[in-house]
Amino acid sequence: MTVRSNLDTAAALGQVTEVNKDTFWPIVKAAGDKAVVLDMYTQWCGPCKVMAPKFQELSEKYLDVVFLKLDCNQENKPLAKELGIKVVPTFKILKDGKVVKEVTGAKFDDLVFAIENVRSS
């Protein structure tokens, strides 16, 4: 299966795909002109744990958006640094391979607003 067909399957099922420093950019590229929402979190972050089920719900609501999550652990630190993460959770919304919106903190309403905004542009 190709990355693209895996993405289409995940989106159709309303799934959040776990990425790492090696898989993130190929998946973003394969998403084409679809919006990509990346949840950058850590295992120990309380607000991240609160947002996780809400993020899952969004993936089930917006089937035309690719939802990814990145554990900002030691292994993925280079990618987290490249994406300019300062706090967790941070949500990055990409379109055509570029970050177009960012929501920091467990701000669900702000995240929904940002997703709606990118989808309608």
- 22-52 pLDDT tens trace: 999 999 999 999 999 999 999 999 999 999 9
Return the percentage of the chain with pLDDT > 70, whole number.
89
**Domain at 99, CATH number:** 3.40.30.10
Looking at residue 37, its amino acid is V
80 token code pair:
């987290």
Cα three-residue angle 95-65-119, rounded to 5 degrees:
60
Query: What are φ and ψ of residue 25, in 5° steps?
Result: -65, -40
Q: How confident is the model at residue 121 (pLDDT cuts 50, 70, 90)?
A: confident
Q: How confident is the model at residue 120 (pLDDT cuts 50, 70, 90)?
A: confident
Contact 63, 9 (CB under 8 A): no
Q: How confident is the model at residue 68 (pLDDT cuts 50, 70, 90)?
A: very high
**Between β-strands 65-71 and 16-19, what pairing exists: parallel, antiparallel or unpaired?**
parallel
- 15-28 pLDDT tens trace: 999 999 999 999 99
Counting the structural domains of the chain, the total is 1
The catalytic position among 17, 42, 45, 107 is 45
**Can 72 be counted among the known catalytic residues?**
no
**Comparing C-alpha atoms, which of 1, 7, 39, 9 is closest to residue 26?**
7
37 token code pair:
């929402």
Domain limits for position 57: 3-119
- For residue 24, give the 3-state DSSP assignment: helix
Which DSSP letter does residue 15 get?
P
Contact 47, 87 (CB under 8 A): no
The catalytic position among 27, 48, 66, 68 is 48
63 token code pair:
């089937």
Whole-number CA gyration radius for the chain: 13
| pTM of the full structure | 0.91
